[in-house]
Amino acid sequence: MPTTLEERSLIVQTVRQFVDRDVMPVASEMEHRDEYPQALVEEMIRMGLFGLNIPEEYGGVNADYTTFAMIFTELARGWLGLAGILGTHLVLNDVITRFGTEEQKRRWLPMLARADKRGGICLSEPNAGTDLQRIRTVAVRRGDQYIVNGSKMWITNARHGSIFLLMAKTDPSATPAFKGISAFVIEKGAPGLTVSRDIHKMGYRGVETCELNFTDFPVPAENLIGGVEGEGFYHVMTGLEAERINVAARGLGIAQAAFEQAIAYSQKRVTFGKPICEHQAIQLKLADMATKIEASRLLIFSAAEKKDKGERCDLEAGMAKLFATETAQEVAWDAMRVLGGNGFSKDFPVERYYRDAPLTVIGGGTNELQRLIIAKNLLKKYKAD
C-alpha cells in the first residue's frame, strides 16, 4: 500500500501520462466505432492496474482507496469504457481478497493480478437490478458441484473476460431472501454458459455489455466463496462499497474532462468582440462546474479514507456516488452548452461525455437507491433518544 504522498503521486502521474499520451488521442474514434481497446488494456496490464487492490503477497499492488479513486478519475477522464474494463475486474478481486478462503486466494489472486484471466461480476438480472434479493438464478448442490440455472444481464467484460463473480440462490425459500443467496467464482469452459447477446448502449462503448444464460452449468463446490452458503449477499454488498467509490471517481473523471474542454474552448471562442469566457453567463457556468467538481473530489476522498480504515462507509460512499455522478451529468450538459453547436458535434469529445455520464448515475446502484441508503444511515446516525 502506498505509504507516502510521493509514492501515490508517482502512481497517479504514471496513469495520467498514459491517459494523455495513449488514450486521449484515440478514445473518441474508437468509441464511435465501439472498438475494444485491446492495446490500451495490454498497457494497463503492464502497469499492474489489474492487481491494484490485491495484496502484495499474492502479486498485487495493494493500493489504498484514495489512490484507487485517483486512478479511476484519470482513466475516466480519458475514456469511461476503459475504466469499466478494469472496474468490474477489481470488484471480483475485492470479494475474493476479503472473503475467499486461503486456498481460493492462492488459486485466483495471482492469476487475476497478472490479468492472465480478466474478470467481471454477474449480479443483475432482467427482473433484479437495484433489488438484488429478487434474483432468480439458482445453484443446486449435487455432490461435489453446484448446478446453475438462470440468466444475468448488464455483464461488463462478458466476452473478453473469462472468470466472474456469480450471485445465485442456494436456498430460494429462505426468509428474508438475502439469507438464501451465495456467491461463487465461475470460469468459462464447461458447457452450459452462453454469452447470448450484446446490449447496444447510448454510451459506455468500447467495452462489451452482454446477457449471460446458464443452463445446467456446473460449478465446483470449492468455488463457493468462503466455503459457506448464505453469505453471498453480504459479500457482494461489501464489495459494492468499493464499487460505489469506483463509480463516483468515474463520474469525477468525466466531469473533469468536460470542464477542461469547456474552459479551454471558452478562452478561444470569440463572440461580440471578446472571448466568451469574458461573458458573465459563461463565467457563472464555469464557476459552478469547478465548485461541484471539487466538492465531488472531497466527498470521494472522505469515503476512501474511511474505507482504508476498515470501517463501513455506506453513508460516505453513497454521498460520493450520488453527488459526483450527478455532477458528471450536469457538467457534461453545461460543457455542451458552452461549446454550443460544437458540443453537439462528434468532432469534439463533449458529446461523448454527455452520453457516458448517465451510466454513472445508473450503475453501481441507481442514485435513487443512493438517496435511500443515505437517508437510512442518517436516521441511524442521528437516532432520536
pLDDT in tens, 12-49: 999 999 999 999 999 999 999 999 999 999 999 999 99
328 dihedral zone (left: phi>0; alpha: psi -120 to 50; beta)? alpha
Kindly indicate the confidence band of residue 1, based on its pLDDT and cuts at 50, 70 and 90.
low
Find the helix or strand (DSSP H, E) in which 260 lies: helix 232-266
Give per-residue pLDDT as tens, 317-363.
Answer: 999 999 999 999 999 999 999 999 999 999 999 999 999 999 999 98
pLDDT band at 2 (very low <50, low <70, confident <90, very high): low
Largest interatomic CA distance in the chain? 79
Q: Please check the confidence at residue 3 and state whether its pLDDT lies above 60.
A: no
Non-local (6+) Cβ contacts of 144 within 8 A are: 220, 221, 222
User: What percent of the chain shows pLDDT beyond 90?
Assistant: 89
Task: Tell me the average pLDDT of the chain.
Answer: 95
Identify how many contiguous H helices and E strands the chain contains and give both numbers. Answer: 11, 9
Over 80: is that where the pLDDT of 234 sits? yes
Q: Mention every residue, 6+ apart, whose C-beta is less than 8 A from residue 347.
A: none
Q: Given a cut of 90, is residue 4 above it in pLDDT?
A: no
Residue 266 has pLDDT above 80, yes or no: yes
Mind listing the pLDDT tens digit for each residue in 82-126?
999 999 999 999 999 999 999 999 999 999 999 999 999 999 998
76 grid coordinates: 475516466
Average pLDDT over residues 143-172: 96
Query: In which residue ranges of the chain is CATH 1.10.540.10 found?
Result: 5-117
What's the fold here for domain 5-117? Butyryl-Coa Dehydrogenase, subunit A; domain 1 (1.10.540)
Residues in contact with 112: Cβ distance below 8 Å, sequence separation at least 6, in sequence order: 50, 51, 54, 89, 92, 93, 96, 119, 163
Rounded CA-CA distance 120/99 in Å is 17
Q: Domain 234-381 maps to which CATH number in 1.20.140.10, 3.40.30.10, 3.60.110.10, 1.10.760.10? A: 1.20.140.10
Whole-angstrom Cα distance, residue 14 to residue 242? Answer: 22
CATH class of 120-230: mainly beta
